[in-house]
Amino acid sequence: MPPIHAIDRLNDLLCLMELRKTARHLADENYARAIVEWAEEAVIAGNQSEPLLILASLGLDATPNEDEIRDYLGRYMIEAGLVYPGPNVSALVWLRIQLDHLIRCETVQDAEDRLRFFVDYWVEANPKWVSKICHHLNWLYFYLFDDGIGYPSTASTMTDAEILAYIRTSVRPYALVLSKEQWLSWLANEPLPNR
């Protein structure tokens, strides 16, 4: 059996693959190579599942075949009793990954680019908590980086270290909530508002 961190990584990849089905603009990357790399790590860690061994061997190809990857990943999931996470959990995991990226940004330019995504894509997703946090990230971009007519942006009066610290302080509470399995489960099952 792969180590716990490897399973968590697989769960994250499954969430991103699931999100691609309904919100391709959010999870638009090709996760085929990441799945193969996960399989390679699991095999090295001692998992001798036949579908997993074949999945790991697909990494020998310069461009792994996505259909074969989905096929052998599906076989492994059946063998291991795994299922794709639901769309709500997938959206929450995607958001957690985005927040983690923001916390780890080492340059202001990287942080600004990551926040700009939430301006370019107005995210309305379920559960509603995802939309609320995405709207907060949209606001954070404008608060820090938007130059208005006649006044400079807030970031222009701060050092790079202050900007990065402000962003980390602003997003860390949300990232902490999403790092807890109990919160993820509760938020994913939150009932939709009446419309």
Closest CA to 144 of 152, 154, 134: 154
Residue 193 lies in a domain: no
Q: Phi and psi of 148, rounded to 5°? A: -90, 175
Bridge partners (DSSP) listed for residue 71: none
Closest CA to 14 of 57, 102, 76, 103: 76
- Helix (H, G, I), strand (E, B), or coil: what is residue 127? coil
Instruction: Give the count of domains, the chain.
Output: 2
Instruction: Decide if 169 contacts 102 (C-beta within 8 A).
Output: no
What tokens appear for 86 in the block? 């639901």
Residue 195 lies in a domain: no
Instruction: Return the residue matching tokens 């927040």.
Output: 99
Rounded CA separation 155/108 (Å): 9
pLDDT beneath 70, residues of the chain: 1-8, 27-29, 122-123, 125, 149-150, 190-195
Domain holding 111, by residue range, is 87-188
Instruction: Decide if 102 contacts 127 (C-beta within 8 A).
Output: no
Is there a single domain that holds both residue 92 and residue 68?
no
Is there a single domain that holds both residue 68 and residue 39?
yes
* Model pLDDT for residues 101-131, shown as the tens digit of each residue: 999 999 999 999 999 988 887 667 677 888 8
Is there a single domain that holds both residue 34 and residue 101?
no
* Model pLDDT for residues 144-165, shown as the tens digit of each residue: 999 876 678 899 999 999 999 9
